[in-house]
Structure 1
């Protein structure tokens, strides 16, 4: 178990109340409701489980694990390379907007807690996974626990989006979140094993839905 202060910091970082704007993105869920028939608790649970294992774990989660290690090693070039990978692999304008906006907001929040934040991020337009990894690297928790927090924060935001967009009741949302919580440890273990060559951000249907969301007639979310 991480020491109490590290555990509390990870809980803080995973909180959907963190003022970085994660609640305003559905990452394709809202478009999926209109164009793929995502209309029930069972469908939403399967959708998010697939997104966890096939997209999130292979891409941003794997990168976050590598970035935490790089931040702790003080490897600025490695950090820049990982950050560039995120920017170059966003498959839609909305996904790029999300990682840039959440990254900027996270850095602004970090300035309240780490005096060297402005210096560390000078000249680096940090993406969200890279900014989160910096914060996680300062907690003293293990890379594994940092990734668990990153993944659970993602899961909470996605379930909240599904509850609003499908729509679902709060109990249904909690059942989906329980399923994702059970699956996250295996996803983290897999993500931490991936090399640079194995890390990927290829999710064609998700990219198509994100692009279609840009012109969706009525929507609640920014992606």
Structure 2
């Protein structure tokens, strides 16, 4: 089976980042609802400030960094599905995660991906945020597992058979690496999609006009280069660095009297 063409990779990337991709992302505000109920985010100006702060002081060194780390690990996985690798094995999603001829290097990669999932879970202080990442990851796996995708390697098949919860940001990075999607393109689409989701939540909940929301999203694109540049200087030691205010609002969300969102 041939690998995905570059055009099909692009379409696939658009699909998995679509606002209507059925993994439940629309049901989470990640603490924004608390900011709105407390009157901190109340208009276009404060929504713009919230999104800027979230992108630069939380999202970059958490979700975006996790995606990059997962991709970089998964890309090192050796066994191609459709090449002439001497240790090539057939893919069977129902078989044990460890095939007899899996190399020590590949076993280490899988172990490090499992460790990354554990690190992501451990660094998410708020219960609702931990649960959100795991629920979205589970739904992502269930959705894409029904597709017949000509992966360039079997890393995604092996990864999803590992025990333990799977966080969406890790799942997303591993999936894109396995499908052979370009790293930079993957990160840019993810950054845009998550920013768009923040804006949509502001429009629905503050509320703001659609025109104001699109203006905020357009202006937010000026931040993207800064976010991507900042990402290049981050490593594993930076994972989980978080502005305390965001974590506190996420924890306070658990006790709000009325809620539209799950987080």
Q: What interval of TM-score do these two structures reach, taking the shorter chain for normalisation? A: over 0.9
More displaced 10-residue stretch of structure 1: 146-155 or 44-53: 146-155
Aligned to 1:66: 69
- Residues 1:79 and 2:113 are matched in the alignment: yes
Unaligned residue ranges in structure 2 (runs of 5+): 78-108
> Which structure would you say has the larger Rg?
2
User: Map of 1:60-209 to 2, 5 A cutoff?
Assistant: 60-74=63-77, 75-113=109-147, 119-122=158-161, 123-209=163-249
Query: What is the Cα deviation at residue 104 of structure 1?
Result: 0.7
Contact 2:120 2:240 in 1 (8 A): no
| Rounded Cα–Cα distance in structure 2 between residues aligned with 1:107 and 1:164 | 28
Q: What's the C-alpha RMSD, in Å, of the aligned pairs?
A: 1.8
Query: What is the Cα deviation at residue 114 of structure 1?
Result: 5.2
- Residues 1:20 and 2:23 are matched in the alignment: yes
Q: Quick check: which one's helix share is greater?
A: 1
User: Map of 1:45-56 to 2, 5 A cutoff?
Assistant: 45-56=48-59
Deviation above 4 Å: which 4+ runs of structure 1? 114-119
| Rounded Cα–Cα distance in structure 2 between residues aligned with 1:20 and 1:3 | 25
Contact 1:9 1:139 in 2 (8 A): no
Pick from 4, 10, 22: which aligns with 2:7?
4
TM-score computed with the length of structure 1 as normaliser:
0.92
Deviations 1:46-67 (A, max 9, x none): 1011100100001111121111
1:80 to 1:120, Cα distance in 2 relative to 1, 3 A: closer
| Rounded Cα–Cα distance in structure 2 between residues aligned with 1:32 and 1:172 | 18
Unaligned residue ranges in structure 1 (runs of 5+): none
| Rounded Cα–Cα distance in structure 2 between residues aligned with 1:99 and 1:128 | 5
| Rounded Cα–Cα distance in structure 2 between residues aligned with 1:18 and 1:209 | 27
Contact 1:62 1:192 in 2 (8 A): no
